[in-house]
Amino acid sequence: MRIVVRSLLMACAVSALAPQGVLAVERVVAPILTTADARDAKSYAQPLVARVSHIDLDLTVDFASRTIGGVARLDVEAAPGASAIVLDELGLDIASVKDGDGRDLVWSVGKNDAELGAPLTIQLAGARKIVIGYASKPQARALQWLEPSLTAGKRGPYLFSQGQDINNRSWIPTQDSPGIRQTWSARIVVPEGMTAVMSGERLTPGGEPAGEGRRAFRFKMDHSIPPYLIAIAVGELAYRDLGPRTGVYTEPEMLDRAAYELADTEKMVATAEKLYGPYRWGRYDVLVLPPSFPFGGMENPTLTFLTPTFITGDRANVGLVAHELAHSWSGNLVTNATWPDTWLNEGFTTYFENRIMEALYGAPRAQMEADLDWGEMQADILEAGGPTSDGTKLYGETGGQLAYFKGAVFLRTIEATVGRVRWDAYLRSYFDRHAFQPQTTAGFLKDLRANLIKGDATLEAKLALDRWAYDGGLPPNAVHVKSEALARVDDQIAMFEAGAPASRLSAGTWTTQEWQRFLNNLPRKLSKAQLDDLDTTLKLSDSNNAYIRSAWLELAIANRYEPALPSLEAFLTSIGRGLLIRPLYAGLMKQGDWGRPLARSIFEQARPSYHPTVAESIEKMLSAT
């Protein structure tokens, strides 16, 4: 059954006045997909009955209580006869729910689920604006509160959010589903001397007085976005331009290093536009966070969040920046409608990232990164149960990073089959057709058939679309891009295995990617003499490159190499990026009586510095028998 809400198709104009570098846009309420596969099992919302179209936040950040509290005003679009709207909430302290005229509305919170939270049902009584007074809890899953000691400057506290995938319901009462796109605005009050940034147009970059030693910062986002992309950070921040529409925020102590690493950001934006069409978000700024940030990056619109672990002084890891930028098309512009469709975000973006890297830095570098991804994908397939496992499907809950790597190989295989020129033309038109809309796997395949295959039965058979999307493993037409540079590293691995000392390796010229290939492909069992040689010669335990050090520590753990334990403890208590630390805890747990006590002891020290979602996942790992 399809319910059409007339007002969902209407748009309202917004002010044409916008700061330089920001696009003035028409606020449009994004459509709701009505196909069965677009039903979001991770949300209690019933958007075809009543949906949130806009959120206006007026909130105060309280570091003492570790809460964000104030008022959320929600604009509601409702079908005729709709009596209630259902929101998602996760542990919010709700004080009041009123309509736009200040009249109390009847509301209730349903049964709580540890992962999903609870449904917040509000009786509309004809209201089309809802005003909710509330506060987050100190343990809100989206928010990480850092003590001054965990920042670079160590002078003041720091706050940042991580909304993906369903964490924002712990600090914003809304319909927390990627298929229910919403515009938003915000006024954020913080202590004097601190700066608030959010993933929208920054209306008051320097803030404005808010009384009692506080400042207020205002933001807006006139494009409809999935709510997981509403993000906030508060701290002692400095800013530097990188180009006419790009810049970097970070702590003052990190600004020079971050700006150096990010020097090509403006070029990346221009390169991405040449590939797949205009950048539609105005500015592209980045925020380099403290080390406890749980991911490599988060593609929050207008303000990508980045881990500092990508800063290695040689710009070898700026593929991470290219990845988050590519999300401005695949993920932010066209978004997975449900979380089993994640590959539509991550697989597309991993492919797009590689194309940006090729255009800027040449084919050899892009080939090296694609080849590394292929190796990671093969490892993920094995970890997920092998090529026939349901865990290796693109559509569904995939393990590891399969949504990234298998998705990218799928798109690369289409490119190789139809040719780059034809494929690029299709992709650009795809982003245009579905801009600011959700998408499902079935919807993408339908679009491919209508606008690329166009009834060509031979091409349909060659592409094997359904097998790629819905079956486990890799179809036989999968394209493996191979790197000559990594092949030379493989020769070095064989040489070391045959007994050559580490001093004969050409490691002094290796990039981060070549180091990863070397360390990850060495046999998991080496003699102590070999490990001593590697560590003494190559200074692996002392490496300031987080990617190299993590790979080395995985190998050290597999061999119970105790000389690396001080480095391991220092690493796990100073880095919070899940990609780099989870394998180390998992490796320790596999080492039984030797490793498990170490894992639990180090985690006890490190837990306060980890994001709640990372801490929770590691705690589950450590409690498993």
Q: CATH 3.30.2010.30 occupies which residues in the chain?
A: 238-328
Architecture of domain 337-470: Orthogonal Bundle (1.10)
Q: Which of 201, 236, 261, 324 is catalytic?
A: 324
Q: CATH 1.10.390.10 occupies which residues in the chain?
A: 337-470
Our answer to whether residue 147 is catalytic in this structure is: no
Mean predicted confidence (pLDDT) in 231-248: 98
Closest by Cα among 203, 229, 131 to 438: 229
The burial of 277, by beta-carbon neighbours within 10 Å (0-12 exposed, 13-18 middle, 19 or more buried), is given as middle
Give CATH superfamily name and number for 6-236.
Answer: tricorn interacting facor f3 domain (2.60.40.1730)
**pTM check: above 0.85:** yes
Closest by Cα among 204, 200, 170 to 190: 204
CA distances from 196 to 162, 200, 290 (A): 15, 12, 15
Structure-token match 């796990």, residue found? 572
Contact 102/129 with Cβ under 8 angstroms? no
At 470-517, the pLDDT tens digits run 999 999 999 999 999 999 999 999 999 999 999 999 998 999 999 999
Beta strands in 263-420, from DSSP E residues, in sequence order: 284-288, 297-298, 303-306, 334-336
Q: Binning pLDDT at 50, 70 and 90, where does residue 7 land?
A: very low
CA distances from 153 to 233, 237, 238, 261 (A): 16, 10, 12, 20
Q: Which fold does the domain 238-328 belong to in CATH?
A: Zincin-like (3.30.2010)
Instruction: For domain 505-623, give its CATH number from 1.10.3430.10, 1.25.40.320, 3.30.429.10, 3.40.50.300.
Output: 1.25.40.320
Q: Give the pLDDT of residue 388.
A: 85
Q: Looking at the predicted structure, is the pLDDT value of residue 9 above 80?
A: no
d(CA 364, CA 350): 17
Q: Sign of the CA dihedral 271, 488, 540, 583? A: positive
Closest by Cα among 137, 141, 132 to 114: 141
Q: Looking at the predicted structure, is the pLDDT value of residue 22 above 50?
A: no
Q: CATH 1.25.40.320 occupies which residues in the chain?
A: 505-623
Q: Binning pLDDT at 50, 70 and 90, where does residue 57 land?
A: very high
Residue 415 structure tokens:
């490119």
For strands 67-78 and 84-89, give the pairing. Answer: unpaired
d(CA 117, CA 43): 9
Closest by Cα among 496, 487, 581 to 534: 496
Cross-strand partners of 185:
56, 220
Main-chain dihedrals φ then ψ at residue 160, nearest 5 degrees: -145, 160
Q: CATH 2.60.40.1730 occupies which residues in the chain?
A: 6-236
Our answer to whether residue 404 is catalytic in this structure is: yes
Q: Which of 284, 351, 404, 561 is catalytic?
A: 404
Radius of gyration of the chain (CA): 25
Q: Looking at the predicted structure, is the pLDDT value of residue 559 above 80?
A: yes
